[in-house]
Amino acid sequence: MKVPTNYHNPFITGQPALGSDFFGHSNILHNVQSFLKNDKLAHFFVFGKRRSGKTSLLKFIHNNVASADILPIYINLQDKADFSQNELALFFSKKIVSKLAFDFSFSENYNAIQFIEELLPKISEKNKIILFLLDEFDVFCEEKSSERKNKLIDFLHKASQKSVQNKIPFKLIIAAGENYRSEIQNKCAAFAGSGEKYYISDFNKKTTQALLQLSEPKITFGKKAIKKIYQYTGGNPYFTQCLAYKVYDAAEQNKSRHISEKMIKWQFAPTIKVYGSGAEVIWHRLADFHKIILYFAALNKSNFSAKLISSTARKKNINIQTQETSTALIKLKESNFLKEINCKKYKFSIEFFRKWIILYISKSEIETIYKNLTTI
């Protein structure tokens, strides 16, 4: 079916939500405004699950605080993990000099100390707040961070300290994955502990309903349909948007003006296949120890042998006993988890889930889960 040129789906997938499309966390502006006025705080952490809207949130902040006095600069750190301390300092410096349009000469051996001691104080001369919005901070925590990555974190911490001590209007808002929160708080406790924090939560039922009402008056979601979406997604922001997007498209193609519970069920499996975020929702609902078991079962091509799973885990320095694994597998079967993956509720194969785990779940995430369990 050819999509009309004026067609607009009100739900957002695959790209950051901007402007009026941003939904569910606009209250953060109050937190950010308070943070910007507080000269005792120089950095602010945003934590959220994968695909929870961290990038959208940073860009929403960027677009809504920008003014003559506040100059936000969005930076994706994804390709900066291998920078040296001095390279990151030079990169930041050029961004600031460009934004504030002042003269500053960079020596051939420009370094992080010069950034902190020479360039930062010059920001005060302009009476403007430089706000760095740092996305993908996780790259400094993935796997076993090298000494270089630790130095980058140390550089950000020292810059933040200098800003507070000298009341320099230089601020950082840093987005990181929820799965790295404990690691960040352990690895850079002084840095993480001294900053403001905001947690991107899942939508509640009321917020989910408000989101789905964006399709009105053209297309309406029935009460049972809204309830079914929330049951399937658990309020996960990204997956809720994905499912709503697919269902809205289906309604348009069928020239329907009402979305029923039956249509939600019909579109659920295709949505998971297209976006994979349904698998993510299911993953986050699992008990931590069950995640470990399924991760190593996935590595063994879904061989649910307790002995083999435990053996594979021990080779990766995750010490779980065969009896513990056997008990966990029994609980998973009793809760119909393994069965439901392949039938009525979730309607996609265990093989799909296995591939999703291998593709999206890192060994470091499992190590962090195991560490948290063994230190309780």
258: exposed, middle or buried (Cβ count in 10 Å: 0-12, 13-18, 19+): exposed
How many Cβ atoms sit within 10 Å of the Cβ of residue 93? 19
Q: How many CB atoms sit inside 10 A of residue 284's CB?
A: 15
Q: Are residues 78 and 184 in the same domain?
A: yes
The residue assigned the tokens 């430089």 is 130
354: Cα separation from own chain's centroid: 22
- CA 10, CA 18: separation in Å to the nearest integer? 12
- Amino acid identity for residue 371 in this structure: K
**pLDDT for residue 67 is more than 90:** no
Asked whether residue 3 is assigned to any structural domain, the reply reads no
Where does the chain show beta strands of DSSP type E? 43-48, 70-76, 129-135, 170-177, 196-199, 220-221, 258-259
Average pLDDT over residues 121-136: 90
Query: DSSP string spanning 72-120?
Result: EEEEEGGG-TT--HHHHHHHHHHHHHHHHT---PPPTT--HHHIIIIIH
Quick check: is 11 in a domain? no
- Same structural domain for residues 230 and 214? yes
Q: Please provide the average confidence, as pLDDT, over all residues in the chain.
A: 82
Check residue 339 and give its pLDDT: 59
What's the predicted TM-score (pTM) here?
A: 0.70
Last residue of a domain, one of 280, 314, 338: 280
The structural domain count of the chain equals 3
Same domain, 92 and 131: yes
Give the pLDDT of residue 28: 79
17 versus 202: which is more confidently predicted? 202
Task: Judge whether 14 lies within some domain.
Answer: no
pLDDT category, 285, cuts 50, 70, 90?
A: confident
CA gap 20, 316 in Å, rounded = 46
62 and 137 both lie in a single domain: yes
Domain span at residue 272 reads: 205-280
- Say yes or no: 172 and 50 in one domain: yes
Residues 147 and 94 in one domain: yes
For residue 342, is pLDDT > 50?
Answer: no
CATH number for the domain spanning 162: value is 3.40.50.300
Do the beta carbons of residue 59 and residue 16 sit within 8 Å? Answer: yes
pLDDT on residue 178: 77
pLDDT of residue 223: 94
pLDDT > 80? residue 143: no
Amino acid at 153: I
Q: What is the pLDDT of residues 319-329, one digit of tens each?
A: 989 999 999 88
Q: Both 166 and 187 in a single domain?
A: yes
Instruction: Say yes or no: 173 and 46 in one domain.
Output: yes
Q: Structure tokens of 354? A: 């296995």
What are the pLDDT digits (tens) for 329-338? 888 877 766 6
7-11, 129-133, 167-171, 177-181: the lowest-pLDDT one: 177-181
Check residue 45 and give its pLDDT. 87
**Residue 113 confidence (pLDDT) above 90:** yes
pLDDT score recorded for residue 21: 55
Q: Which of 255, 280, 305 is the last residue of a domain?
A: 280
The predicted structure's pLDDT at residue 167: 93
Whether residue 315 is found in the same domain as residue 265: no
- Polymer length of the chain: 376
7 in a domain, yes or no? no
Residues 187 and 96 in one domain: yes
Q: Output the pLDDT for position 186.
A: 65
Has residue 264 got a pLDDT over 60? Answer: yes
Higher per-residue pLDDT: 298 or 347: 298
What average pLDDT does the segment 232-238 reach?
83
- Any domain includes 154: yes
- Residue 286: predicted pLDDT: 82
Note whether 184 and 65 are same-domain residues: yes
Please report how the helices 237-253 and 223-233 are oriented relative to each other, as an axis angle in degrees rounded to 10: 140
The domain that holds 252 is classified in CATH as 1.10.8
Domain membership flag for residue 131:
yes
Q: How far apart are CA 217 and CA 81, in angstroms?
A: 47
> Does 19 map to a domain?
no
* Residue after which a domain boundary falls, among 222, 253, 280: 280
Establish if 226 belongs to a structural domain.
yes
Nearest to 279 by CA among 333, 358, 179: 358
Q: How far is CA 236 from CA 49, 84, 161, 269, 366, in A?
A: 9, 36, 35, 16, 21
